[in-house]
């Protein structure tokens, strides 16, 4: 019985595609396993206080021991941004002022945008506290990075490093930002539906525990028992560890 070359080619082609699909599945499973192990390792370092920030926020740098220290020049800029905003100057006006003074951004560019100012004003790292696991990577390829809205446990380390602003100043700025956001965004017609959706999201987020750890655990637990937790974290429903 004679078999044409075309049939032989099709046979080997199908076989190759099958093998490629198997190899791809194995490679994907291995990649996801490595990602899972790395995620577990990072979370473990979160808990024991040995995690080192790979890319510190503007205003800070890491020393040889991996601890956060002030970048004095950048910290002065952060202080200026908070002072200006508390005095009533808007985000874009502050950005314009920094550009006029030719102050470089974190990337070294001389073009400040409103978004960069907003991120600095929202970052609680400037209070001396360190909130870890703000974002996470999905478990499957291509490992898209997303904001953590309660999917994973967050870790708050209080008094981790030298602050640039006080908690009171930070909370005041958050209230001002929230108030301006309300003014800019008029109420939508389906506000009841949005409110219900928000409640559902909050109920899901509250089901995932958060943990507070730090170098001085006894002092932190004492402060927690006294209720000394910043307002910005109260809604996160933290679980405290002794």
Mean pLDDT of 74-94: 96
Q: Which range has the worst mean pLDDT, 23-32, 69-78, 137-146, 152-161?
A: 23-32
The mean pLDDT of 43-57, rounded to a whole number, is 78
Does position 15 have pLDDT exceeding 60, yes or no? Answer: yes
pLDDT at 237: 40
Q: What is the pTM of this model?
A: 0.62
Q: Check residue 129 and give its pLDDT.
A: 95
Tell whether the model's pLDDT for residue 242 goes beyond 50: no
Sketch the domain layout of the chain as residue ranges: 40-240
User: pLDDT digit string (tens) for 151-210?
Assistant: 878 888 899 999 999 999 999 999 999 998 887 665 555 556 555 655 565 555 445 554
Residue 73 or residue 46, greater confidence: 73
Average pLDDT (19-24) is 69
Give residue 216's pLDDT band: very low, low, confident or very high (50, 70, 90). Answer: very low
Q: 199 vs 149, 165, 195, CA distance in Å?
A: 13, 32, 6
CA 91 to chain CA centroid, nearest Å = 21
- pLDDT tens for each residue of 106-147: 888 779 999 999 999 999 999 999 988 887 777 776 768 888
Chain mean pLDDT for the chain: 75
Looking at the domain 40-240, which fold is it? Hect, E3 ligase catalytic domain fold (3.90.1750)
- CB neighbourhood size of 57 (10 A): 20
Tokens 């008029």 sit on residue: 186
Q: How many CB atoms lie within 10 A of CB 162?
A: 11
């Amino acid at each position: 019985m004679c078999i044409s070359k075309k049939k032989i080619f099709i046979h080997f082609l199908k076989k190759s595609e099958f093998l490629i699909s198997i190899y791809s599945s194995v490679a994907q499973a291995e990649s996801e396993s490595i990602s899972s192990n790395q995620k577990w390792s990072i979370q473990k370092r979160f808990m024991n206080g040995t995690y080192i920030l790979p890319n510190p926020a503007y205003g800070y740098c890491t020393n040889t021991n991996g601890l956060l220290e002030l970048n004095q020049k950048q910290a002065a800029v952060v202080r200026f941004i908070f002072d200006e905003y508390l005095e009533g100057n808007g985000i874009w006006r502050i950005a314009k002022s920094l550009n006029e003074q030719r102050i470089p951004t974190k990337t070294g560019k001389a073009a400040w945008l409103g978004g960069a100012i907003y991120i600095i004003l929202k970052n609680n790292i400037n209070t001396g506290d360190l909130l870890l696991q703000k974002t996470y990577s999905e478990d499957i390829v291509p490992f898209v990075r997303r904001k953590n809205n309660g999917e994973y446990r967050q870790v708050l380390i209080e008094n981790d490093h030298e602050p640039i602003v006080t908690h009171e100043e930070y909370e005041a700025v958050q209230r001002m930002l929230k108030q301006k956001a309300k003014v800019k965004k008029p109420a939508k017609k389906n506000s009841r539906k949005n409110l219900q959706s928000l409640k559902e999201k909050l109920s899901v987020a509250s089901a995932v525990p958060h943990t507070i750890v730090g170098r001085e655990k006894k002092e932190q637990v004492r402060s927690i028992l006294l209720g000394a937790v910043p307002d910005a974290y109260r809604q996160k429903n933290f679980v405290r560890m002794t």
